[in-house]
Amino acid sequence: MLKIKPVALDRLPKLLRLMPKAELHMHIEGSLEPELMFALAQRNGVSMAYADVESLRRAYVFDNLQDFLDIYHAGTLVLRTEQDFYDMAHAYLARAAADNVVHAEIFFDTQTHTGHGLSTEVVINGLHRACVAGEAEFGISASLILCFLRHLSEKEAFESLEQALPLRDKLLGVGLASSEKGHPPEKFARVFARARDLGFRLVAHAGEEGPPAYIWSALDVLKVERIDHGVQAINDPTLMAHLAKERIPLTVCPLSNLKLRVFPALAEHNLGRMMEAGIVATINSDDPAYFGGHINQNFTQTFAALGLGAQQAYQLARNSFEASFIDDSLRHQYIDRLNAAFETFD
Ligand code: HPA
Ligand code: ZN
């Protein structure tokens, strides 16, 4: 492992910004900024419940995950055409590249949109086209993870998987998102087994608001390779030891956790403790348009609140590449770039 020199506090934001990193936990629908939302509403003749961008932004105050999901769902009503999905994902990739994200594994769902009368093809083709453009324009590698909505039935998850299969080569994996409490991972045992047989990479949200038992069943029943959030693992020492020993990555989203009141303040976030316990944690933005920041704001605010430094910055960026589903040759290229960024920083 590279020897990391300490960096003065006032220079840390620059280092956090310029280090290359991967983003592994963001929902593309949660990247839709109010400005683009209003533009798409106008383009598609969809009426908005808010008069303007400012009043919409003012509504982004949440008590918990469900509170957020309700507003988030309303925002997706402006998405009507393949071009809308392209524009949304292209805007995210441009913004992520500015934060020196060099690789992104992007969550999306089809169930929200098929529920609004759109086809699975419109969603996946628009997003995939943006991923291809993102590579050409910004040099960012990007791939797509189809999330099942856990408040719906397993039968409906199966339907969304089957509808996506003709576009299989545009997808990297499947995940599990939406209302966690009352919808344990094991509800989706069979659809994850089927996705696994089809060669999809597997992830699931677990232990965001829900108990450590949900993290165990995501691992043992769904056989996921990463846990999204996972911060409730701290309440189960056996689980903590297991995550560390097996090097199961957690995709942590600090500003999301703050905005959804998983922690009362960023200074009380357990990311630092997780890292000290040897867990492969990463920092991500989750829904950047709703939670007050893209990935670098997650880094800088969390580092300031927890007093983290250059060593943790390197570790988190490195973890993001170790935890990603890229092939080893690209992984080594990105880690070499990361090492070079740290070696030349002064
Ligand atoms: N948790 C669960 N589902 C979600 C989230 C989240 O943080 N963001 C978008 N869908
Ligand atoms: Zn999420």
Q: For 15-50, how does the pLDDT look when each residue is reduced to its tens digit (9 = 90+)? A: 999 999 999 999 999 999 999 999 999 999 999 999
Atom 9 of ligand 1, residue of closest alpha carbon: 27
H helical segments located in the chain: 12-18, 34-44, 53-58, 65-75, 82-98, 111-114, 120-138, 154-164, 189-197, 212-217, 237-246, 254-259, 271-276, 295-306, 310-322, 328-344
Structural domain contains residue 298: yes
Structural domain contains residue 6: no
Catalytic residues: 208
pLDDT, one tens digit per residue, over 317-326 is 999 999 999 9
Q: Which two tokens stand for residue 24?
A: 């592994």
Can you give the length of the chain in residues? Answer: 346
For 245, other C-beta atoms within 10 Å of its C-beta total 10
> Residue 90 and residue 98: Cα distance in Å, rounded?
13
CA 195, distance to chain mean position in Å, is 20
pLDDT, one tens digit per residue, over 183-216 is 999 999 999 999 999 999 999 999 999 999 999 9
Nearest atom, ligand 1, residue 177 CA = 3
Ligand nearest to the CA of 177: 1
Residues with CB under 6 A from ligand 1: 27, 30, 65, 177-178, 205, 208, 256, 286-287
Q: Which helix (H) or strand (E) holds 270?
A: none
For ligand 2, an ion, list residues with CB under 5 A: 286
User: Ligand 1: which of 287, 290, 291, 298 to mutate, most ligand atoms within 8 Å of CB?
Assistant: 287
> Residue 10 and residue 24: Cα distance in Å, rounded?
27
Categorize the per-residue pLDDT at 172 as very low, low, confident or very high, splitting at 50, 70 and 90.
Answer: very high
Categorize the per-residue pLDDT at 177 as very low, low, confident or very high, splitting at 50, 70 and 90.
Answer: very high
- In this structure, what CATH number is given to the domain that contains residue 236? 3.20.20.140
Q: Is the pLDDT of residue 127 over 90?
A: yes
Structural domain contains residue 2: no
Structural domain contains residue 3: no
Structural domain contains residue 250: yes
Categorize the per-residue pLDDT at 2 as very low, low, confident or very high, splitting at 50, 70 and 90.
Answer: confident
Structural domain contains residue 1: no
Considering its fold, how many domains does the chain have in total? 1
Ligand nearest to the CA of 262: 1
Atom 7 of ligand 1, residue of closest alpha carbon: 286
Structural domain contains residue 266: yes
Structural domain contains residue 255: yes
Atom 10 of ligand 1, residue of closest alpha carbon: 178
Domain assignment of residue 73, given as a range: 12-344
